[in-house]
Amino acid sequence: MLMYTLKRLLQGVVTVWFIATATFFAMHAVPGNPLTNEKAVSPKIWAELQKRYGLDKPLLEQYGLYIKNMASGDFGVSYTQQNRQVNDIITEHFKVSATLGILAVVFAAFGGILWGALTAMYRNRAPDIVIVFLVILGISVPGFVFAAFGQLSLVKVNDWLGFTLFPVAGWGTVQHMIVPSMVLGLGTMAFLTRLMRSSMLEIVNSDFVRTARSKGLPMTRIFRKHELRNAILPVITVLGPSIAAITTGGFVVELVFAIPGLGRYFVQAVQQLDYTVIMGTTVFYGAFLVFMVIAVDLLYGMVDPRVRLE
């Protein structure tokens, strides 16, 4: 177990290093450098600028510095925002994104497990048909449409109530968080519901459930102890990739609901071609996702004793 954990962590570090290297060389393979966007400057100032950002050094030395700084957790200075550290940007805005993402994952996981179990219990009856229809809708509608309609319905609800139950945009209080995280989690919830349904249907017809039933155990106990626990396993497996899906989907929700998260910042940096911010956030996101997937895999080994981690 310990060996496995160490091995996976080492692999994770190598992957992050690969991402960092690939982004670095890809960035520098592009002709020109970020400063060419600036207006005409005298050669002296140009040289000073190059020096300030370390662009006058040979490529390999730049790479060495970049990796060294990154290993000590320093992502450099933003190109478009004077004297602003990329680290500051990440620490300031990632809190928001993480809160939103965690709420969305929790919402998606609980919703998916609940609805999936419900559909399996009411197989081919009204609740099943309605939920399966909603699930298909959830998988087929793009996230930004959900975001737009979510916001639109908020306007209507607030208008109808006569006071602001949930604010339409912005960030800060618990009320701000609820609707965006629900919108963000919706697609994943639909996917998890589908997964939970098929896994639950398999479990319901298995031998150990029949045995439990013939022993005369109460239905609620069978549901909780036998069915739910076993059916949940595949859902946990896809939770890692789901977190990835939710963090990338977060860009749109952050844009639509005007949430000051890292995703919105990243899109902004992309539009302004702010290289250090793009590279810093990319490597940070990459590392976050890689270690999230590792954490979920380790968790899976703990939850399911049949899985041997080696």
* Interface with other proteins (CB under 8 A): 15-16, 18-19, 22-23, 26-27, 29-30, 136-137, 139-145, 148, 152, 155, 198, 201-202, 248, 251-252, 255-256, 266-267, 270-271, 273, 278-279, 282, 285-286, 289-290
CB of 137 to other proteins, least distance (A): 8
Angle at the Cα of 161 (from 159 to 163), degrees rounded to 5?
A: 80
CB of 218 to other proteins, least distance (A): 26
Closer Cβ to other proteins, 35 or 201, answer by number: 201
Closer Cβ to other proteins, 16 or 232, answer by number: 16
Closer Cβ to other proteins, 42 or 124, answer by number: 124
CB of 136 to other proteins, least distance (A): 6
CB of 79 to other proteins, least distance (A): 14
Can you list the pairs that 37-41 forms with residues at least 24 positions away whose Cβ atoms lie under 8 Å?
Answer: 37/273
Q: Look at residues 235, 241, 240, 239 and name the one whose alpha carbon lies nearest to residue 200.
A: 235
CB of 74 to other proteins, least distance (A): 20
Closer Cβ to other proteins, 118 or 217, answer by number: 118
Closer Cβ to other proteins, 17 or 217, answer by number: 17
CB of 264 to other proteins, least distance (A): 10
CB of 132 to other proteins, least distance (A): 10
Closer Cβ to other proteins, 141 or 299, answer by number: 141
Closer Cβ to other proteins, 104 or 278, answer by number: 278
